[in-house]
Amino acid sequence: DTVLTQSPALAVSPGERVSISCRASEGVNSYMHWYQQKPGQQPKLLIYKASNLASGVPARFSGSGSGTDFTLTIDPVEADDTATYFCQQSWNDPTFGGGTKLELK
């Protein structure tokens, strides 16, 4: 299985820029996607294929990377962005990262 590694948690202040990283155990080309999950809710697709914004997602969210290293950036961060963010690869059978919990200071 392709293992995806994310930092467990980050804390930022509203208005700042935050980058959330995801590292794959093997190359996944550009087949990396990002999701936002708020407590008690289902995941929501933010970015697909590394850098494409999903429908209805604010332009504050962006994605970059290829191969094994990927980044989700939120700029500027808003209070409503408090959530856990998951990466997912689809180059091989789908696997998800452990999630990064974003907290606001």
Q: Residues interacting with another protein, by CB under 8 A?
A: 31, 33, 35, 41-45, 48-49, 54, 86, 88-91, 93-99
**Shortest Å distance, C-beta 15 to another protein:** 29
Q: Does residue 25 contact residue 2 with C-beta atoms inside 8 Å?
A: yes
Q: Which is nearer to another protein, 14 or 67 (CB)?
A: 67
**Shortest Å distance, C-beta 42 to another protein:** 4
Q: In 3-state terms, what secondary structure has residue 15?
A: coil
Q: Which is nearer to another protein, 41 or 105 (CB)?
A: 41
The torsion angles phi and psi of 6, rounded to 5 degrees, stand at: -125, 150
C-alpha distance from residue 16 to each of 5, 11, 65 (Å): 24, 10, 21
Q: Which is nearer to another protein, 40 or 105 (CB)?
A: 40
**Shortest Å distance, C-beta 14 to another protein:** 26
Residue whose C-alpha is closest to residue 47's, from 58, 78, 13 = 58
Q: Which is nearer to another protein, 51 or 73 (CB)?
A: 51
Residue 85 to residue 82: CA distance in whole angstroms: 9
